[in-house]
Amino acid sequence: MRVATFNLESLDLPPDSPVPLEARADILRPQLDRLEADILCLQEVNGQKEPGTKGRTLRALEQLLQGTRYASYARVSTSGPLGKGVADIHNLVVLSRFEITSHREVRHDLVQPVTYKPSTAVPHANRDLLIEWDRPILSVEIELPGNRHMTILNAHLRAPLAVPVTGQKKAPFVWKSVGGWAEGYFMAGMKRLGQALELRLILEQLLDADPHCLIAVCGDFNAEDHEATLRIVVGAEEDTGNGSLAARAVIPLERSLPHDRRFSALHHGRAQLPDHILASRQLMAHFRKLEIHNETLEDELIAYAKVERPPDSYHAPVLAEFDFG
């Protein structure tokens, strides 16, 4: 069985996307075909307005998947405001060759929004802000052959881009002070760490219900192994100091690769791995190999500056293979 995760980077249709879908499909569709995934987790799938309706659909995704194995797969996605349709940007999607028996979205169900009063706001903030997560986590239950059941958690955690602070921005990417930027960056970190905590608490619920459950945690964590974000999700015994909790840890599968292959993005000349598949201890018994399809990656900073209307995703797909015998 093959499980994959892929950040498509704002898959959309014109006029919201400057790149025609056909141009993006010529690049993305071969990458999807190569994965031959049985379960595929996608991030950054935008929703499109439908004429005569108030809701949105995943029409761009449907067009991308035409002619691929995934067109006939079972599909679930996150929803938009008030649960109507899908969100305008950055939906999470899970596609499965196997039956999806249930799914749920988790956003502030287990961790409440953080209240915080900015120090650098202009004028000075006289009340607390409510810092909420940008996206939910998508939890999907899948029935596998042989009467096995598996939980897929699809996540896209907050990027390390500073949150706007009142009166501290000159332009979308230009700040008026270092202090203002630093506080915005700190607030972004609170969002990402809060999402990571909620993801760990979902794992706690699942493991409480069944200590032997099969769980794969997939997605764009905007963090690398051993950063605070991943440490919260992983829950390693060296952090808890309690060996009896070791079975509750999840394992970053990229640790099976040589260090020079552990990257799914290039940023300013630095190879990074923000995209992960993590497996529960029980699922690790069936793990055979991990692939990161990073051969064609371009440095995203250079590409955005030099390439007109780039059609690529500047994330590489990550693929894990399991054998259930």
274-296 per-position pLDDT tens digit: 999 999 999 999 999 999 999 99
What local confidence, expressed as pLDDT, does residue 82 receive?
67
pLDDT at 119 over 80: yes
The residue-averaged pLDDT of 205-218 equals: 98
Q: Which amino acid is at 115?
A: T
Asked if 162 contacts 185 with a C-beta cutoff of 8 angstroms, the reply is yes
Contacts of 237 (CB under 8 A, 6+ apart): 243, 245, 246, 249
Please tell me which residue, 310 or 227, carries the higher pLDDT value.
227
What local confidence, expressed as pLDDT, does residue 293 receive?
98
The residue-averaged pLDDT of 18-27 equals: 96
Q: Which amino acid is at 266?
A: L
Please tell me which residue, 39 or 84, carries the higher pLDDT value.
39
Task: Calculate Rg over the CA atoms of the chain.
Answer: 20
Contacts of 195 (CB under 8 A, 6+ apart): 133, 135, 137, 155, 157, 158
Please, is 88 exposed, middle or buried when counting C-beta atoms within 10 Å of its C-beta (0-12, 13-18, 19+)?
Answer: middle
What local confidence, expressed as pLDDT, does residue 78 receive?
97
Rounded CA-CA distance 136/86 in Å is: 12
pLDDT at 259 over 90: yes
Domain of 114 in residue numbering reads as 2-322
pLDDT at 53 over 90: no
What local confidence, expressed as pLDDT, does residue 228 receive?
98
What local confidence, expressed as pLDDT, does residue 309 receive?
82
Dihedral angle computed from the Cα positions of residues 314, 37, 87 and 153, in that order, rounded to the nearest 10 degrees: -100
User: What's the whole-model pTM score?
Assistant: 0.96
The residue-averaged pLDDT of 225-254 equals: 98
The residue-averaged pLDDT of 187-196 equals: 98
The residue-averaged pLDDT of 51-67 equals: 92
Asked if 19 contacts 310 with a C-beta cutoff of 8 angstroms, the reply is yes
What local confidence, expressed as pLDDT, does residue 227 receive?
97
Q: Which amino acid is at 276?
A: H
Domain count, the chain: 1
The residue-averaged pLDDT of 210-231 equals: 98
What local confidence, expressed as pLDDT, does residue 83 receive?
66
**Kindly report the CA angle at 84 between 82 and 88, in degrees rounded to 5?**
95
pLDDT at 236 over 90: yes
Per-residue pLDDT tens digits for 93-109: 999 999 999 999 999 99
pLDDT at 51 over 90: no
The residue-averaged pLDDT of 4-9 equals: 98
Residue 71 has which token pair?
Answer: 């067109």
What local confidence, expressed as pLDDT, does residue 40 receive?
99
Q: pLDDT over 70 for what percent of the chain?
A: 99
* 3-state DSSP of the chain: CEEEEEEEEEECCCCCCCCCHHHHHHHHHHHHHHHCCCEEEEEEECCEECCCCCCEECHHHHHHHCCCHHHHCEEEECCCHHHCCCCCCCEEEEEECCEEEEEEEECCCCCCCEEECCCCCCCCCCCCEEECCCCCEEEEEEEECCCEEEEEEEEECCCCCCCCCCCCEEECCEECCHHHHHHHHHHHHHHHHHHHHHHHHHHHHHHHHCCCCEEEEEEECCCCCCCHHHHHHHCCHHHHCCHHHHHHCEEEHHHHCCHHHCCCEEECCEEECCEEEEEEHHHHCCEEEEEECCCCCCCHHHHHHHCCCCCCCCCCCEEEEECCC
pLDDT at 306 over 80: no
Q: What is the CATH number of the domain that holds 76?
A: 3.60.10.10
Q: pLDDT over 90 for what percent of the chain?
A: 91
Mean pLDDT over all residues of the chain? 96
What local confidence, expressed as pLDDT, does residue 307 receive?
77
